Structure 1
């Protein structure tokens, strides 16, 4: 997958968006190995980013079937675990829209989190400059006296990652979830003071 960037014209220090794993280099498809098929499907999804935005995307359903089939054939083989993680994280990120707002003294990352408690949401900073917002909404257990007639609310994992700009204050990050909306505020570092000219004494020889 390619790195998602702001439109041309934004300053270099501004934010960049990217999925959770680097692109996968894969050989040409053969007729048999299911893992090649999985990787090819991933590349197809990556090249059509506009079609990622939806929980009912047929690409994801087809891809999940390929993963399940590969799991059944591989048995206890865990060599394709990174591929499964990549797909699930990509799906979580595609289904987690966010707003990013720049203020004079801070940045704000806003994500809808309806029905979630603070313990279901995790906000972390990785590699000193990567803001990671993740969590999971679990499906309610069906009670004996009731049965679901329709289940349309989203459940499962959600995730977003943002590379913070150079002027982000890492130890000045706060998160508040109110009325189902999570707002993560990242303070800005003060602008550097202009360097004063240095005076060199001239000695008389």
Structure 2
């Protein structure tokens, strides 16, 4: 019986696949969180948001603005299957990954000209600032 267990276990442990998966992935995700690493910077003309999204295709990423909130979400699903020579399934695995990040954006963002690009696993979102003339900000108050 011990030899049969070792066929599925390289280390000799009784529950290798289950506990290796728990230790390697689940606790790591709990400790690190499942949200992508994010950088936010501001220039004179825009805010820039960079998200680390390796493994996500641009078709899997959704960016939308509702009121004063920028919402970036993504979902990815991967499946794999191993069969023996008789086409019997030996192992079938799947992985679903998703995230949603929301950012409050200031009133001076030009929502119509927000742009995004993705390169080498980095999603770059640029939120241009609207140029508001100084006289638009001045409010005259009459004395009564």
Structure 1 alignment gaps of length 5 or more: 1-53, 58-90, 199-205
Q: What is aligned with 1:100? A: 40
Partner SS, residue 119 of structure 1: helix
User: Post-superposition shift, 1:142?
Assistant: 2.5
Distance 2:36 2:139 in 1: 49
Deviation readout 1:45-85 (Å, 9 max, x if unpaired): xxxxxxxxx6134xxxxxxxxxxxxxxxxxxxxxxxxxxxx
Structure (1/2) with the larger strand percentage:
2
Partner SS, residue 159 of structure 1: strand
Structure 1 residues 140 and 106, CA, compared in 2 at 3 Å: closer, same or farther?
same
Q: Conserved in 2, the CA contact under 8 Å of 1:120 and 1:136?
A: yes
Distance 1:135 1:158 in 2: 6
When the two chains are superposed, the root-mean-square deviation of aligned CA atoms in Å is 3.1
User: Post-superposition shift, 1:155?
Assistant: 4.5
Q: How many residues align?
A: 106
Q: What is aligned with 2:29? A: 55
Q: Conserved in 1, the CA contact under 8 Å of 2:61 and 2:75?
A: yes
Question: Given the alignment of the two structures, is residue 161 of structure 1 paired with residue 133 of structure 2, yes or no?
Answer: no
Distance 2:126 2:139 in 1: 36
Q: What is aligned with 1:116? A: 56
Q: What is aligned with 2:121? A: 180
Distance 2:71 2:139 in 1: 41
Q: Conserved in 1, the CA contact under 8 Å of 2:75 and 2:97?
A: yes
Q: Conserved in 1, the CA contact under 8 Å of 2:39 and 2:49?
A: yes
Q: Give the greater-gyration-radius structure (CA).
A: 2
Structure 2 alignment gaps of length 5 or more: 1-27
Q: Conserved in 2, the CA contact under 8 Å of 1:134 and 1:159?
A: yes
Match of 2:74 among 115, 135, 147: 135
Q: What is aligned with 2:83? A: 144
